[in-house]
Structure 1
Amino acid sequence: MRIEKKTIFLYLIAMILFMFALSYASVPLYRVFCQVTGYGGTAQILDYVPLVDEELPKRILTIRFNADVGVEMPWKFAPIQKEMKVLVGESALAFYEATNPTDHDLIGISTYNVTPQQAGIYFNKIQCFCFDEQMLKSQESIDMPVFFFIDPDFLEDPRMNEIDTITLSYTFFVADHA
């Protein structure tokens, strides 16, 4: 009887430790899951631009750009261009501008998403400022590039037939250094 109580106690402790580890790892695991699957409008991140097949049908999409800041973020943050026309499969470069109007240096970090959500898996970013801390000195302004393309597989997906506009949204938050 004493061995059974000890075994149950050890299983209980192991389960508590496992649940704690799982909760600690859930945010990075969810981020990886979204980036791999495009779930929730999460764009894909690549470090190359694939070659464009000249035989692909030509389709132009309107890409809109949106910028927001979190409640505690005092920065001014906006896209330099509100929208652009992009040929599916070809790379494009857009810019956002961030300004720190305060009298102290401030570090921010951004998140992003793509709408409509089902287009997120085809929106590939080659270079962006997302998930990297950005430090702006007092009264400093910077332009931040986003280098991207729409995957040619977009043309093969029947769910994308009615989609002519994709919106890329970024939100900047104060970086938590607690």
Structure 2
Amino acid sequence: MATTTTLPPVTPQMRRNQRVGFICLAVVGAMVGVAYAAVPLYQMFCEATGYGGTTQNATDNPKGVIARPMTVRFDSNVDGGLNWTVTPSKPITDDIGKVDTVNFVATNNSDHAVTGQAIFNVSPERAGYYFNKIECFCFTEQTLQPGETVQMPIVFFVDPDLDKNAELDTLKELTLSYTFYPVKKGS
């Protein structure tokens, strides 16, 4: 004789428990989605606002040049795991809005090919929004052969709208800083 199992009737308490379980599962799923999207969303926020010294990308300067000189200094730092020497460009002083080109010079001091990459920031941070790069080596993996020396150009301008920002009236100098680090294979 076969035995049959009867399920207990679904009670209102069981329905509430299921609803709470589904809500908890949906909240956890939403949290995972937000965590996954946080990095690209933060990057978009920084690019839009210049937060953290994030610069803008441009193809040219449509706003022209204004007669306000600005000195741009350049800085480079190399992570201890990257056997490179990186020499930044000398500072330049030019009118705001003028498109300038400078070169960083990198040398691989090791006896094997090494791939590196650079991240950047502008200080003071609040001026990063007005620093526009037309061409830059940043975020691009660079592979240097043993002993190889390369010039890495940056084409940029300072947006003339900086002159309209009362908080930056006294600003006469910006610093563009790069930190170079090794790119791990498989990353």
Same fold by TM-score greater than 0.5: yes
Alignment check: 8 A CA contact 1:66 1:82 kept: no
User: Are positions 1:173 and 2:181 aligned together?
Assistant: yes
Tell me the alpha carbon deviations over residues 112-147 of structure 1, each in whole angstroms, 9 at most, x when there is no partner.
111111111111111101111112222222111110
Instruction: Provide the rounded CA distance (Å) in 2 between the counterparts of 1:26 and 1:78.
Output: 34
- SS of residue matched to 2:44: helix
- SS of residue matched to 2:167: helix
For residues 1-178 of structure 1, what are the structure 2 equivalents within 5 Å?
1-52=13-64, 56=66, 58-79=67-88, 81-176=89-184, 177-178=186-187
- SS of residue matched to 1:19: helix
Moved more, 139-148 or 168-177: 168-177
After superposition, the Cα gap between the structure-2 partners of 1:3 and 1:73, relative to the gap in structure 1 and judged at 3 Å, is: farther
Alignment check: 8 A CA contact 1:68 1:77 kept: yes
- SS of residue matched to 2:116: strand
- Taking only the aligned residue pairs, the percentage that are identical comes to 37
Instruction: Provide the rounded CA distance (Å) in 2 between the counterparts of 1:144 and 1:36.
Output: 26
Give 1:76 deviation, angstroms.
1.3
> What letter matches 1:26 in structure 2?
A
In structure 1, what is the equivalent of residue 10 of structure 2?
A: none
Give 1:51 deviation, angstroms.
4.6
Alignment check: 8 A CA contact 2:119 2:179 kept: yes
Alignment check: 8 A CA contact 2:119 2:138 kept: yes
Q: TM-score, normalised by structure 1?
A: 0.90
Structure 1 alignment gaps of length 5 or more: none
Structure 2 alignment gaps of length 5 or more: 1-12
- SS of residue matched to 1:118: helix
- SS of residue matched to 1:139: coil
> What letter matches 1:77 in structure 2?
V
- SS of residue matched to 1:85: strand
User: Which one has a bigger Cα radius of gyration?
Assistant: 2
Instruction: Provide the rounded CA distance (Å) in 1 between the counterparts of 2:79 and 2:18.
Output: 49
- SS of residue matched to 2:180: strand
- SS of residue matched to 1:121: helix
Give 1:175 deviation, angstroms.
1.9
